[in-house]
Structure 1
Amino acid sequence: MRVISGTAKGRPLKAVPGTGTRPTTDKVKEAVFSMIGPYFDGGRALDLFAGTGGLGIEALSRGMEQAVFVDKDSKSIEVIRENLKTAKVEGKAEVYRNEAVRALKALAKREVRFDLVFLDPPYRMKDMDALMLLMKEQRLLNDGATVMIEHDSSHTYPEEAGSFHTVKHSVYGETAITVYRYNEEDGDNEELTQDEEDQA
């Protein structure tokens, strides 16, 4: 694994020991950033199931101003810190060991808002659309924010979820990438419709 492009291009990234973490391959990572970038003019990113930190580090290398890395595994946290130093972007990063929902609520208390979110959980977790709605509820996203989900290609996420609209979807073997755009203005009407459907 390596940083593919930007200020840290070519720098090697360590993997997390053991089999519990599945890092995004360089091929898929390159495809992801061709969908969402490929480069950025500032902004803040959140790498929520960070693993090695590869996605968030790539975003920093490509121009994101700040990034927050969250993982509940202590080995992952150690590897993320090492990889940030290798890429020389540790000054732009915050790293937290926490479970995803608790981390989102903690960030909301600080009134942090993100422009780009990476959701690359273990493939058995298929509720990332619920996490996106929690991000909206907690006011964690700037209008126009991009949310990327990496997931098992056998699972399909909805084209729309509240204020989130699919803008890209690609499959790479067993891996799929779904990219959403967040639009604040669309949320209230669509959520009302969803509530009406729930009551029906």
Structure 2
Amino acid sequence: MTRHKQQSGRNQQNNRQTGFVRIISGRWRGRKLPVHDVEGLRPTTDRVKETVFNWLAQDLYQAKCLDLFAGSGGLGFEALSRGADSLTLLELDSKAANQIKQNLATIGADNATLHNTDALKFLAQPGTPHDVVFIDPPFRKDLIASVIELLEANGWLTPQAMIYIETEKELGDLPTPAHWHLHREKTAGQVSYRLFEREE
């Protein structure tokens, strides 16, 4: 489950826990972690998530992962459960970030770092290279190009990084660099999701 949010923080009218994110496989297989009823929270189905992590199966073990626009943290939790070495999560909304923090404590994930911050501002600083990056930004906010530019410019990617991008279906082709090669892509309903392999 990922959260599509505005880049500017706004007060949320509802703070109820109304759902769960399920870890499909790995160390914490079958665990359900609570998710707040926060405006803009959009579920990523288990079927889509399972497809994505099947694509990434050979690349996750001991990988350094970065989860941008983390929302519920579902993609990051799944990566850790399946053997990732470390995880950095970015989430702007304070309620969603607090829930991620609680869920990380619940499962005892001591190799994850959460930043309650704007992803673009965070990526604008010099980074450390990551092996796997999850990009699931707010729909229809024209953020993809800026995210890709900052990842490349500031050293956030390893030479052969795998980059997952989830967007609205109507967006069409993505402004990816020539050395990002499309590895897999699929559409589910109104969502398109793609996995790119970087070859520096």
Pair in the same fold by TM > 0.5: yes
Aligned pair count reads 180
For 2:13, the equivalent position in structure 1 comes to none
For 2:191, the equivalent position in structure 1 comes to 175
SS of 1:51's equivalent? coil
User: Could you state the TM-score of these two structures normalised by the residue count of structure 1?
Assistant: 0.83
Supply the distance in 2 between the matched residues of 1:172 and 1:158 (Cα, whole angstroms): 17
* Cα distance change, pair 125–16 in 1 and its aligned pair in 2 (3 A): farther
Root-mean-square deviation (Å): 1.7
Q: Using CA pairs below 8 Å that are at least 6 residues apart, which structure has the higher relative contact order?
A: 2
SS of 1:129's equivalent? helix
For 2:33, the equivalent position in structure 1 comes to 13
For 1:96, the equivalent position in structure 2 comes to 115
For 1:187, the equivalent position in structure 2 comes to none
Answer 1 or 2: which has greater strand percent. Answer: 2
Asked if the contact 2:145–2:175 (Cα under 8 Å) also holds between the matched residues in 1, the reply is: no
The answer to which of 44-53 and 14-23 deviates more is 14-23
Asked if the contact 2:63–2:84 (Cα under 8 Å) also holds between the matched residues in 1, the reply is: yes
* Cα distance change, pair 76–105 in 1 and its aligned pair in 2 (3 A): same
In the alignment, does 2:43 pair up with 1:23?
yes
* Cα distance change, pair 160–124 in 1 and its aligned pair in 2 (3 A): closer
Asked if the contact 1:68–1:93 (Cα under 8 Å) also holds between the matched residues in 2, the reply is: yes
1:41 aligned residue (58, 61, 73):
61
Answer 1 or 2: which has greater helix percent. Answer: 1
Whose Rg is larger? Answer: 1
Q: CA deviation at 1:160?
A: 4.6
Supply the distance in 1 between the matched residues of 2:33 and 2:140 (Cα, whole angstroms): 25
For 1:55, the equivalent position in structure 2 comes to 75
Asked if the contact 1:77–1:97 (Cα under 8 Å) also holds between the matched residues in 2, the reply is: yes
Whichever residue aligns with residue 58 of structure 1, its letter is E
Any gaps of 5 or more consecutive residues in structure 1? 185-200
Aligned identity (percent) is 33
For 1:190, the equivalent position in structure 2 comes to none
SS of 1:154's equivalent? helix
* Cα distance change, pair 179–159 in 1 and its aligned pair in 2 (3 A): farther
In the alignment, does 2:90 pair up with 1:70?
yes
For 2:157, the equivalent position in structure 1 comes to 141
User: Could you state the TM-score of these two structures normalised by the residue count of structure 2?
Assistant: 0.83
Q: CA deviation at 1:39?
A: 6.5
